[in-house]
Structure 1
Amino acid sequence: MLNYLHPFRSTGRIPRPALKPPQVRRVVNWMMSDPARLDPGDRQRLDAILAASTDPSLLQRRILLSD
């Protein structure tokens, strides 16, 4: 317990909780949508996901080519 509480006492503030990743259904919805019609925040989250892994970006290119 002391090891857990030590970082809070030394900094004087509680760290922010990690953000929950978006649901798979939401990411697929973003990938299937027209990029120009996405909300800017959703577009940033999608760009971050695509930059983190090559598999989703390959899938999105395939989706966009099929249109």
Structure 2
Amino acid sequence: ACGACSVLMDGEVIRSCTTPVSAASGRHITTIEGLSSDNSHPVQQAWIEEQVPQCGYCQSGQIINAV
């Protein structure tokens, strides 16, 4: 599992690719895009400042897990 599909469900990291839609009903889901509209979330800023990116594919999952 690469983690690229990682999202926050009620503040907990889950893999959306293995989570049934029925499990998400009525829950609060936050995607990488939902952290901030302008990449101003502190973890996103640190990622940029420290030049962390290694691969664009799994990067969103790494950031969500760090949040």
Structure number with the higher strand fraction is: 2
Tell me the TM-score normalized by structure 1: 0.26
Structure number with the higher helix fraction is: 1
Pick the structure with greater CA Rg. Answer: 1
Tell me which of the two structures has the higher relative contact order, counting C-alpha pairs closer than 8 angstroms and 6 or more residues apart: 2
